[in-house]
Amino acid sequence: MLRSKIKLALFTLERWFAWIFFFASFGLGAYLAGGNFGELKVWMGVIMVTGLMCYGHCVNSILDYWVGLDSGEANDRSVEKNYSGGQSVLATKQCSITFISIVASVWAVIAVGCAYWFILNGQPIMMAMWALGMMVPWAYTPAKFTTWAHELVLGIGVGPLATMSGMFAISNHPPVIAGLLVSIIPMVVLSFAGLSLDEFPDASANLKKGVKSLAYKVWEHSDDLKIWDGEATFWARTKIVKSYSLLRWYLTTWLLMLFGFQVFLIQLGILKPLTGLGFIMFPPILCSLVFLKNQFNKTAAIIVILAAVYLILILVGQIVGG
C-alpha cells in the first residue's frame, strides 16, 4: 500500500514522459539567451519548469475527473496509456483528490521557491513565468470543450512559456522574437501533433461528453471500417472501427511543416545548422506510423520516444554547433 502510494506520488501523477519536451524547450531558450548548463541559474530554471509541469499534470488528473473525462466505467473514460499514466487513478480509487492536491502543492512550492530565488538574483520576470505556468492546467481541461484552444493551451505551456523561462533565467533582455519562433517547434511536436496521437483512443468515450478539440476530431472524422469480430454472434459477425489513415496523414503533414520551419530558422541564423541532426528521427517516426493499426499503444509510445529524441538532438545541435 505504501509502496503504491509512493509510486503514485513520485512517478505516476507527474507523467514524466513529457519532461524531456519541457527540458528541451527550456534548454533552447537558455542557450539562445547565451546561457549554458554549467550555470546554477539554468538548473534552478529547470527545477522550476519541472515543478510547474508536475503540478500541471497533478491538477489535470483532478480536473479531468471532475468534468467526467476520466470518470465512469473503463469503456466510458480516457484510456490509460503505457507512456503516461495518471488518467485512471481517481476512477479506480488508487488515491483521493486530497492526496493528489497535496502532491500538486508540493510541486507548486518547489516551483515558486525557484522563482523567488530568481527574484533575489535580479530576475523578477521569472515570477511572472511561474504565475503563467500555474494557470496552464486550469485552462487546459476547459479548453477541451472548445475548438483549437486545447492544443493552444498545452502548446503555450511547452513552447513559449518553457522557452521564455529558459531565456529569462539567463537575461532580463533576451532575444524574445527568436525564442518565440524556436518555441513553435516543441509546441507543434507535443501539442498540435502529439495530442492527436494521445487523444485518438480517448475520442470514442470523450466525444460523447462534449469535447470539441481538434485532436478528438481527427478520430471523429476518420473513416469507419467494418472488420470481422470472432467473438460476435452468428448474426453480427462485424464491428465498426476507425481507420488510421487520417491520423497518419495528419501527423505526417505536421512533420513536413516542422521540417520546412526548422530549415527556415536555420537559414535565418536563429538555429545552428547542426540542429539538422534532428531530421534523422523523421524516417523512423514515419515508419512507425505504419504499425499504428495493430499495435497502437506500443507504437504510440515509440513515437513519443522518437519525438523526444528529435527535440534533444536539436538542443544538442544548438549547444555544440559553434
Return the pLDDT at 5: 85
Do residues 248 and 291 make contact, with C-beta atoms less than 8 angstroms apart? no
pLDDT > 90: percent of the chain: 65
Does the pLDDT at position 108 exceed 80? yes
Q: pLDDT value at position 236?
A: 53
Q: What percent of the chain has pLDDT over 70?
A: 91
Query: What average pLDDT does the chain have?
Result: 90
- Per-residue pLDDT of 24-64, as tens digits, reads 999 999 999 999 999 999 999 999 999 999 999 999 999 99
d(CA 112, CA 130): 7
Helix residue spans in 121-244 (DSSP H): 125-143, 149-156, 162-168, 176-187, 194-199, 203-206, 214-220
Rounded Cα gap, residues 100 and 77, in angstroms: 19
pLDDT digit string, tens, across residues 278-301 = 999 999 999 999 998 878 888 999
CA proximity to 166, closest of 277, 33, 310: 33
pLDDT in tens, 187-197: 999 999 999 99
pLDDT of 128 over the 80 cut: yes
Q: What is residue 242's three-state secondary structure? A: strand
H or E element: which one contains 157? none
- Per domain, the residue ranges of the chain are 2-320
Contact 201, 221 (CB under 8 A): no
Cα–Cα nearest to 166, from 125, 219, 218:
125
* Residue in 114, 1, 17, 8 with CA at minimum distance from that of residue 58: 8
